[in-house]
Amino acid sequence: MKNLVALLILIPAFSLAQKPKLVIGIVVDQMRYDYLTRYWDRYEEDGFKKLIREGYNCKNTHYNYMPTYTGPGHASIFTGTTPENHGIISNHWYDKVNNVGTYCTGDSTFNTLGSDSDHGKMSPNKMLSTTITDELKLATNSKGKTYGISIKDRGAILPAGHNADAAYWFEGGETGKWISSSFYMENLPNWLTQLNDKNPSKKYLEQSWETLYPINTYTNSIEDNNPYEVLFNTETTSSFPHNLPALVDSNNHYSLIKATPFGNSILKELALALIKNEALGKDDHTDFLSISFSSPDYIGHQFGPMSVEIEDTYLRLDKDIAEIINYLEKNIGEENVLLFLTADHGAVNVPQYLIDNNLPGGYFNMHVLDSNLHEFVKKEFKVDSLIKNVSNYQVFLNHKLIKQNNLNIETVENSIATYLLNQKGIAKSVTSTSLKSTEFNERILANAQRGFNQIRSGDVLFVLESGWIPSTNPKGTTHGSPYHYDTHVPLIWHGTGVKKGESNQEFVIPDIAATLAQLLNIQTPSACSGKPIVDLIK
């Protein structure tokens, strides 16, 4: 008996918490954190409010790298690390080895399922780390099912991981159907083919986009008729209502739905159909479904964060999320579902709106920079074509030519970095040599460093001033910076294993996968740099 007691003392106290039968990961494309607070009084009780009221709200969650784009955002959420490790350095980037542009999920070795186009020639193979969904597959010996769905291919593929059962995304144009890649299977499942046969987006494009409530109640937004919004093709005003039937032909047919809140609605319908037809959450092996709502990004780019269109989009998305929650509770059980909601990045206010309100902002012409930079380097080093590419706030150099002309790479890098700092609108520049040899603590440069992949990134990186975007169009907006408007996003947890509460402590996006690993009692992804948010775990 004494030996048994002694043995028990040596064994640490450990208990396996109840595992969820289904994990739902909701990513809202381009959701700033302040969309929760700004529209709070207008949300209903069963959507965002229910998640926050009954779950755990991490109020100060940030992306800790740049560029804050869709591809890197989704990869970082699910790998638990940053582009320096998972390799998804942008949506598109310059492949300096093969001297071509590349797309984060593009893969010509596979074929499209559900269409005759090339839009399904995709895979997750450019992502260099495992995901939390990959680890779930390993932990359950592939008995747990994993799926990713989104309007965007990258929003479906990257979260689903390398060993998913499927990823589905929407093809617009004249197709208007959900498609996939032969990376996952040989044919679309029958239930999805039947859903496609019903033409999921048609009914929404046969109606006008009216505001959900009387337009005079949209007091959290600027005037509907304002000069900061991009018009749909053939539309004469950006004001409500948007006559969708009249706009279909001139806006790439079914692609029009992407830039309306009804893109969220058809994705919600796909999610519910998938959960039902694939019997998710119906056995003892945890399943995982990632749902990435892309339409807020299309709408945000076009109309800006202060628009009535964005406010209406989130009021409608609140209802779509409430419908998903209600379905899960009725069909799987609240106690069996773990749900988290976050975003892949935020967005800056339309710079012209900032300028007109005496706030920092501006427009940076990347084409002019590209031309001027080539001229400067040619004059400085008496060699033409030393620069191979300028993209994604990076300058890629021709190393072979630098060596042939007996130039010092660090000298060339430093010269370019100094030149960049003298350009109006550029706040910081840093060389790859510095990024490889120095660990930066200052927030902006540290974010740039965590977005720098030694194999794929360029030789000089630069950061624009706050409020500046790489555009010459004074309408619409974008994202990609290391500033708070792009990095601060929601992170809400709800369901199995989650305490009720909130925290103002700063968390970073890689913490999501680390926390999921703890809640699921599985291994963290292979390159995970995040830490578990222990305070939310029961």
pLDDT tens track for 360-417: 999 999 999 999 999 999 999 999 999 999 999 999 999 999 999 999 999 999 999 9
Strand positions, DSSP E, 153-193: 166-171, 177-181
pLDDT, tens digit (0-9, with 9 covering 90-100), for 352-368: 999 999 999 999 999 99
Read off the pLDDT band of 18 (50, 70, 90).
Answer: confident
**Across the chain, what does the average pLDDT equal?**
96
Percent of the chain scored above 70 by pLDDT?
Answer: 97
pLDDT of residue 70: 98
pTM attached to this predicted model: 0.95
Q: Judge contact between 171 and 114, C-beta under 8 A.
A: yes
Task: Please give the average per-residue pLDDT across 489-501, as a whole number.
Answer: 98
pLDDT of residue 362: 98
Rounded CA separation 429/414 (Å): 9
pLDDT, tens digit (0-9, with 9 covering 90-100), for 111-127: 999 999 999 999 999 99
The pLDDT of residue 5 is above 70:
no
Active-site annotation holder among 70, 175, 477, 524: 70
The pLDDT of residue 149 is above 80:
yes
Rounded CA separation 68/378 (Å): 32
Burial 486-520 (b: 16+ CB within 10 A, else e): bbbbbbbbbbbbbeeebbeeebbbbbbbbbbbbbb
- Is 234 in the active site? no
Task: Please give the average per-residue pLDDT across 273-298, as a whole number.
Answer: 98
- Greater confidence, 14 or 194? 194
pLDDT of residue 17: 58
The pLDDT of residue 13 is above 80:
no
Domains and CATH numbers, the chain: 22-355+483-536 (3.40.720.10), 365-424+426-464 (3.30.1360.150)
pLDDT of residue 2: 44
Instruction: Of 331, 243, 256, 266, give the one whose Cα is nearest residue 298.
Output: 256
pLDDT, tens digit (0-9, with 9 covering 90-100), for 415-459: 999 999 999 999 999 999 999 999 999 999 999 999 999 999 999
